[in-house]
Amino acid sequence: MPRGVAIPEPRQQLFAALERVVAADGPGRLTGRAVTREAGVATGLLYTHFTNFDDFLAGYAVDRAFQIASGVAGLPERAGSGTVAANLGDAVLATPLGTLLALARLIAFRPELAASIEAVLGDGTGGLAAVERSAADYLTAEQQLGRVPADADTQALALAVVGVLHHVALTGADGPAAGTRIRRAMAALTAGFPAVTTT
């Protein structure tokens, strides 16, 4: 890139490039040079914004874990509106599958990144823990409203919701096909729930 050309949101540009490298070559081929080459920027840009490559990876992991957590944070507030299946499906589909796949593969390759996430965002925020927690809180709230059976194990259902999301992401599904699979799974998980409507 020519000198003097401004790069919009360089950190996000580098993070997006990291995801493309992981998707194409796996986390084992991840280097600063691979990321900056993919981003189309000079190698020094990465080190302008991060102390070293480990700092860059930690920054990426925290940013994306926060993004995933933010996408599902409002789910418990939807209790009593719409349908349980639709609310779960909407929350799960708010999670960018490419981001989730890259983050999951990176944490599996560099497990210490989970501790980096929790050091910044708090306990239980690494990986899919935030999705599981929000789903469990939501299902418990719906249970209290009579829209989830009183004897349903909301923690186990939340784990199943996360399992669906994780599987769809890891199998590389994206776009409408992923949406269809996820919504069908949410409908199956909530089949037989009380048909309680609210205004």
Band (pLDDT 50/70/90 cuts) for residue 3 is very low
CA distance 63 to 41: 21
Q: For residue range 136-162, what is the model confidence (pLDDT) as tens digits?
A: 999 999 999 999 999 999 999 999 999
pTM, two decimals, is 0.84
3-state helix, strand, coil in the chain (%, to 5): 70, 0, 30
Q: For residue range 40-94, what is the model confidence (pLDDT) as tens digits?
A: 999 899 999 999 999 999 999 999 999 988 888 899 999 999 999 999 999 988 8
Could you give the C-alpha distances from 95 to 45, 75, 150, 153, 196, in angstroms and in order?
28, 12, 28, 24, 27
Handedness of CA 131, 107, 117, 10 (dihedral sign): negative
pLDDT at 196: 61
pLDDT at 53: 95
Tell which CATH architecture fits domain 7-49. Answer: Orthogonal Bundle (1.10)
CA distance 114 to 99: 15
Q: Under 8 Å CB-to-CB from 99, ≥6 apart: which residues?
A: 19, 64, 67, 68
Q: For residue range 169-199, what is the model confidence (pLDDT) as tens digits?
A: 888 666 788 889 999 999 999 998 886 655 4
pLDDT at 63: 93
Q: Residue 19 pLDDT > 70, yes or no?
A: yes
One-letter amino acid identity for 43? T
Q: Residue 2 pLDDT > 50, yes or no?
A: no
Q: Choose between 31 and 5: higher pLDDT.
A: 31
Half-sphere exposure in the Cβ direction for 43 (13 Å, CA): 6
